[in-house]
Amino acid sequence: MRKIQSFVKRSGRLSKAQVIGLYELWPNYGVSLTDNQLNFGELFLNSHDVTLEVGFGNGDSLLEMSIQQPKQNFLGIEVYEAGVGRLINEANKHQLSNLKIIKEDAVEVLQNHIPDDSLSKFQLFFPDPWHKKRHH
């Protein structure tokens, strides 16, 4: 059976800060997947509920929720590298321990790495990913 890709990966230049987030700070916030399902207790080092957000873009809402709800864990999935790098930098500025990020296809992650009944909330927003001047 042919695999369906659930996203179109946009590429572009990354700022120096985004590169730092993606490569230097990744060990603090990034989740590198293995063949196993995720164990949220081990990942977050606590037993708080987990909210998953798919396609967080530049991460503004996910960052704000993580700051406002320190007793809730947040896991974001995004393939847009600039957004991932930006969110990691912001999370580091706020020293957040309740936020982790996966830079993979959400379908793959959901099918193979998220245990059944392990999420307290699932968020999927549909913002305009490409701001167009003529529309605004």
Task: Give me the DSSP letters along the chain.
Answer: -PPPP-------PPPHHHHIIIIISHHHHB----SSPP-HHHHHSS---EEEEE--TT-HHHHHHHHH-TTSEEEEE---HHHHHHHHHHHHHTT-SSEEEE-S-HHHHHHHTS-TT--SEEEE----SS--GGG-
Does position 118 have pLDDT exceeding 80, yes or no?
yes
Residue ranges per structural domain of the chain: 16-29+44-126
The model's pTM is 0.85
Q: Judge whether 128 counts as a catalytic residue.
A: yes
More confident residue, 9 or 96: 96
What pLDDT is stored for residue 130 in this prediction?
61
Answer whether CATH 3.40.50.300 is correct for domain 16-29+44-126: no
CA–CA gap between residue 76 and residue 51 (Å, rounded): 8
Question: How far separated are the first and last CA of the chain, in Å rounded?
Answer: 41
Arithmetic mean of pLDDT over the chain:
89
Q: The dihedral of CA 104, 106, 110, 112: what is its sign?
A: negative
What pLDDT is stored for residue 10 in this prediction?
58
pLDDT tens for residues 40-93?
999 999 999 999 999 998 999 999 999 999 999 999 999 989 999 999 999 999
What pLDDT is stored for residue 76 in this prediction?
98
